[in-house]
Structure 1
């Protein structure tokens, strides 16, 4: 509504100020392009000469002074309108900024119709005020986003700072939908994106009841999807960064929880890899007391196929409980889990063949069994 009101006011002001300025220039013969009004040449010149002799003003400045006195309430009223817009909506100044930008730069760039230099100056002053007001509001919002404290009982989902960022972007894009200039808006959106990324990065596991990587994964995924929908040019780099961060935190989340189904086996082979990295020969690893064939058999006995499947089912339920349904990331995360689990399985088999060759030691479940476990869990949920 403020935008429509201001547009209507400007449509009425432009011809009014232009006509008044043209009249003054013709009446006082202040313009080189006017011949003056018939019958008034002598009196106009005498009045002009008298007025100009009392001041050091140039004819153009004299016209501006006359218009300033005629329209002395114009700029204060426009400033008051801006103040009211700011009180009605936290970013009411954005509507004024969008409207004035189009109007001012439209008049400057138009050669088809005459415009009032006085009105250009007044609107330019109010435009600068609207820019200043907008930048202050954006700065305040950035600070609030960065300083937002997470709710103590928050279990995950989309963070308040992300919601505020989306609300601003949605509101501002609607305001600037038909705008011809959006430089100030682009800067503001980029500032806010940097702040919301900083807010997510500052998450601490001490403040959350769930895995931090999971929360960061969901929020960066949410931002990436949102920016894909909006397709905002100035935020393309942030969209790519959000996708990268989402992938990174999903990988960390997957690796953290994948160690649980085969935790002791994973720990055993991590030790084997550490010995190999220290220079122990593959055929000598089994002679290390902690990594002997007997110790490996003891560990592997703890993971029969049925137990592995049961552990995977428990893992699936835990992930399902953690992830928020709105983001629909469960299928993606579970598929990533499956790929990582298969990679681990293949790595374990490779280490057994290299370091325990001819021992007859093998895991209780095959690759086919493992694939069937994941397939069964996926289909039953």
Structure 2
């Protein structure tokens, strides 16, 4: 390892000759003309030449000493000149430094002057902009207060001036500039102009409202008649007011008090107008329903007519009354008033709803536009309402789109406060609508409770189809529906109470209780009404069951209190008739009651046969009772005939003992009993009873 390291170091210390060194060495060796083996001679020659060269060099150096001294002197002179040059340069630098300071000062002064000029220019520009933004030209001020707002040109000029005033008041001014006295004074001046303009606009709008109401109120009221049964809209008034809408919208963000005052003024002017029209409209509806006998505009006339008719019609569709009194009033509303008149009432209610909806929605659309209340697609819904009202004459009782149907494609109001504001405004303006509708409902409910049933179905279809439960009309109709539902439940409860309080008739033959026939007539009419309203089916079904249970209890109670007709026959007739009624009606919710009526009918029939038919052929009955006893004791039916007491010969003797005369006499006696107890001689119960009697005899 050591040898290898030494070899490596030798290789690293070895340096090869360059090409120039090789050529010089070759030239030297060629000059010496020594062989390569005579190294000593070659080395010696080289030493001599080296010594010769060293001595030459020493001599040359000694010979050039003077030159060196001269060179040193020259160098010293150069150094001195350089020092002088440096001093001069330093002097020049000092001079330039003073000049630079002066130039810098000049530049700073020039920059300061430029900055002052720029600031002055900016200040001038800012002041000019401030003046332009706050300056309100006198001609525009005159337009605010001197233009004629009854003309379109005057409204346009006033609107331009008002927009300019709003731009001045809403100018984007730096907060620091607002502290300037001039700015404050100008702003106070502009605010005074705005206040004066608001007062003028409020006064002008009040005059316009009064003028329009005075001009069109009587004309619109007189255009209504009971034939068309249409509630007029206020399109002519709205069209006259719409040009002022931009001015009203300017007040909303800038003068809320004036805006609210104008809105309240419009409400106070239009509310009495709607009250008169709606009150008159309901009088027209009452006149149409009464066949033109109602004095227009007089609610008392309807009440008087109602009182005159109450005695004859109040019980026409109810279950009230007992005995002969009940039978005397047993003609139902369907017979007292034709079915077409009931349909006319239903169609009239539908026409009312179809007429009121577009008017309310048109007013709502106008308020949204005129008072800048946010809503979506109300215009489309109102237009669809007008199209529907215009085509109502060709419809009989089609379901009218509810207020929410008219607006079911619309979105909810984005701002809850604005939605509340709109609903509050409409509720105050149409406050009379709910009051008159409730009064109308109450009048007809007192006249006949069946009206509540028609109103319940029609209003339910109108309200339950809504998607926007928070709209004004939906809430109004919802409140009205509560009154109708309450009246309907009260009416139905009165029917239940009437059934429960029914007394047994004083006739010799009880027959079918009148409340069962009344129930039949009522159910047929109710089925015709509720078949178009699946949403209210549960209400009538619940009362169906209650009425049936009350009839069951009352039949059992009255069967024991009528002393001239056997209780079995009372139950037999009434349950038979009730079962036929339920079979005819085919009401799904009364299936269990139908089966129970059938069961009670069979029980009553069995009890009646057992009590009054007795044992007309005693020996024959005794023979077969013995046969049944043997069978019950375990004797096979085939073996009973082999016993002596029950043989065929014994049966022949028993049959021979029963003569035809006895059989005929027994049958005739039972027929007389059935005819005596049965109220209706044409009733199928007589045939049923006879058949049962014959079976009893055969048995």
Q: 2:460 aligns with which of 82, 94, 101?
A: 101
Q: 1:246 aligns with which of 601, 610, 622?
A: 601
Alpha-carbon distance between aligned partners in 1 of 2:626 and 2:501, rounded to the nearest angstrom: 43
Alpha-carbon distance between aligned partners in 2 of 1:249 and 1:11, rounded to the nearest angstrom: 53
Give deviations 1:84-123, integer Å, cap 9, x for gaps.
11122133221211211111123x16xxxx9981111111
Give deviations 1:183-220, integer Å, cap 9, x for gaps.
32222222111111111122344523122112211111
- 2:578 aligns with 223
Mark the CA change 1:160 to 1:264 in structure 2 (over 3 Å): closer, same or farther.
Answer: farther
Q: State the shift of 1:176 in Å.
A: 2.9
Q: Is the 8 A contact 2:616 2:697 kept in 1?
A: no
- 2:562 aligns with 207
- 2:188 aligns with none
Mark the CA change 1:34 to 1:15 in structure 2 (over 3 Å): closer, same or farther.
Answer: closer
1:128 aligns with 2:482: yes
Q: Greater shift after overlay, 166-175 or 132-141?
A: 166-175
Q: Is the 8 A contact 2:667 2:693 kept in 1?
A: no
Give deviations 1:295-318, integer Å, cap 9, x for gaps.
xxxx99985442233112221232
Mark the CA change 1:273 to 1:328 in structure 2 (over 3 Å): closer, same or farther.
Answer: closer
Q: State the shift of 1:273 in Å.
A: 8.3
Query: Structure 2: 5+ residue runs without aligned partners?
Result: 1-288, 290-344, 380-414, 634-639, 645-653
Alpha-carbon distance between aligned partners in 2 of 1:18 and 1:35, rounded to the nearest angstrom: 8
- 1:87 aligns with 446
Q: Is the 8 A contact 1:142 1:192 kept in 2?
A: yes
Alpha-carbon distance between aligned partners in 2 of 1:131 and 1:276, rounded to the nearest angstrom: 62
1:328 aligns with 2:687: no
Alpha-carbon distance between aligned partners in 1 of 2:362 and 2:570, rounded to the nearest angstrom: 61
Alpha-carbon distance between aligned partners in 1 of 2:661 and 2:506, rounded to the nearest angstrom: 39
Q: 2:359 aligns with which of 5, 11, 16?
A: 16
Q: Is the 8 A contact 1:165 1:196 kept in 2?
A: no
Alpha-carbon distance between aligned partners in 2 of 1:127 and 1:154, rounded to the nearest angstrom: 46
Alpha-carbon distance between aligned partners in 2 of 1:17 and 1:217, rounded to the nearest angstrom: 58
Alpha-carbon distance between aligned partners in 2 of 1:217 and 1:182, rounded to the nearest angstrom: 34
Mapping for residues 34-183 of structure 1, pairs under 5 Å: 58-106=417-465, 108=466, 117-183=471-537
Alpha-carbon distance between aligned partners in 2 of 1:221 and 1:71, rounded to the nearest angstrom: 54
Mapping for residues 342-353 of structure 1, pairs under 5 Å: 342=698, 344=699
Q: State the shift of 1:28 in Å.
A: 4.2
Mark the CA change 1:301 to 1:115 in structure 2 (over 3 Å): closer, same or farther.
Answer: closer
Mark the CA change 1:227 to 1:177 in structure 2 (over 3 Å): closer, same or farther.
Answer: same
Give deviations 1:266-306, integer Å, cap 9, x for gaps.
5898799899999xxx9xxx9xxxxxxxxxxxx99985442
SS at the partner of 2:558? coil
Q: Is the 8 A contact 1:186 1:234 kept in 2?
A: yes
Mark the CA change 1:104 to 1:89 in structure 2 (over 3 Å): closer, same or farther.
Answer: same
Give deviations 1:207-255, integer Å, cap 9, x for gaps.
2312211221111111121122222222222222222221221122222
- 1:294 aligns with none
Q: State the shift of 1:263 in Å.
A: 5.6
Q: Is the 8 A contact 1:21 1:116 kept in 2?
A: no
Q: Greater shift after overlay, 252-261 or 216-225?
A: 252-261
Higher relative contact order (CA 8 A, sep 6+): 1
SS at the partner of 1:58? helix
Q: Is the 8 A contact 1:218 1:327 kept in 2?
A: no
Q: Is the 8 A contact 1:152 1:208 kept in 2?
A: no
Q: State the shift of 1:65 in Å.
A: 0.5
Alpha-carbon distance between aligned partners in 2 of 1:219 and 1:258, rounded to the nearest angstrom: 20
TM-score scaled by length of structure 2: 0.39
Q: State the shift of 1:153 in Å.
A: 2.7
- 1:3 aligns with 346
Alpha-carbon distance between aligned partners in 1 of 2:579 and 2:631, rounded to the nearest angstrom: 41
Q: Is the 8 A contact 1:261 1:315 kept in 2?
A: no
TM-score scaled by length of structure 1: 0.69
Q: Is the 8 A contact 1:17 1:116 kept in 2?
A: no
Alpha-carbon distance between aligned partners in 2 of 1:98 and 1:60, rounded to the nearest angstrom: 29
Q: State the shift of 1:265 in Å.
A: 7.1
Q: Is the 8 A contact 1:26 1:35 kept in 2?
A: no
Give deviations 1:21-43, integer Å, cap 9, x for gaps.
3333344444363799xxxxxxx
SS at the partner of 1:157? coil
- 1:355 aligns with none
